[in-house]
Structure 1
Amino acid sequence: MLRTLDLVLVGAMIAAATITYQIKHDAEVKLEEVRGLQAEIKLQKETIDLLEADWSLLNQPSRLQRLSTAFEAELGLRPIEAEQMAQPDELPGRASDFEPKLAENGADAALTTGSVQQ
């Protein structure tokens, strides 16, 4: 009987060692995936930084002024004149158009929106 118990325990130890090795191997594979993703994230962040630097370079006012002067005739560009601005009565919607309506339950209290009331 002692031999049977010994064989069962040896078998259980071998099964436990196999399971432990499999779990360790899976964890190492996942760690490599995480490291790969971290490398990709770092590369993407560096690319974003480079593109933001390029964007700020392309949007420099002196460069845009030089380009607008160079292509003024081809694009039909003109400086903005004061007459091109909209008058207040030409703008859509007035403040009175956006006043909140009181609830239909007969409440006399007005809603306050943080604006100055007269």
Structure 2
Amino acid sequence: MFRTTDVVLIAVMLSAAAFTYKTKHDAEAMMRRVSELETGIQLEKDAINVLKADWSLLTQPGRLETLTEIYKDELGLAVLDPRQIAQPQALGAIPLRDDLLVAEDGQAASDPVVTGGVHP
């Protein structure tokens, strides 16, 4: 009848068939997941393109100018006078707090690079 080697070979063949089926099933599941992710990515890219188009529409200079005219009184908007812009020397030094300066290693910095408020 059946020899021991026949039984062993049948068992190996059945194991190989089961492993092949499981591998195929796992690969198909992964391909479905990849397809879902690609679809999601494309939807997000489309949403980003719509948002960019909305942003370019909302920031058109003509539209902003119209809005400033409409809401000028409510927002207290006025034309900027060039003499309103101060020079850095007129502002004075901005005091720095040493406890806010931290070195890369997490320790408090002992030699701050920025002193005052005006950068050389």
- In the aligned structure 2, how far is the partner of 1:90 from the partner of 1:31? 65
- 1:48-102: per-residue Cα shift (whole Å, max 9, x none)? 010001001000000000000001011110010012111242254152xxxxxxx
SS in 1 for 2:50: helix
- Assess, with a 3 A threshold, how the Cα gap between structure 1 residues 42 and 94 changes in structure 2: closer, same or farther: closer
2:38 aligned partner, one-letter code: Q
Query: In structure 1, what is the Cα distance between the partners aligned to 2:64 and 2:2?
Result: 91
**Residue of structure 1 equivalent to 2:10:** 10
Give me the TM-score of the superposition, normalised by structure 2.
0.74
Q: Secondary structure at the match of 1:8?
A: helix
Stretches (4+) displaced over 2 A: none
For 1:18 and 1:64, the matched residues in 2 are separated by 67
Q: Is the 8 A contact 2:68 2:77 kept in 1?
A: yes
TM-score computed with the length of structure 1 as normaliser:
0.75
Return closer, same or farther for 1:32/1:94 CA change in 2, 3 Å cut-off.
closer
- Cα 1:93–1:20, aligned 2, differ >3 Å: closer, same or farther? same
Q: 1:94 to 1:3 in 2, by over 3 A?
A: closer
Aligned residue-pair number: 95
Which residue of the partner structure matches residue 36 of structure 2? 36
Can you give the 5+ residue segments of structure 1 that lack an aligned partner in the other structure?
96-118
Identity %: 45
Higher relative contact order (CA 8 A, sep 6+): 2
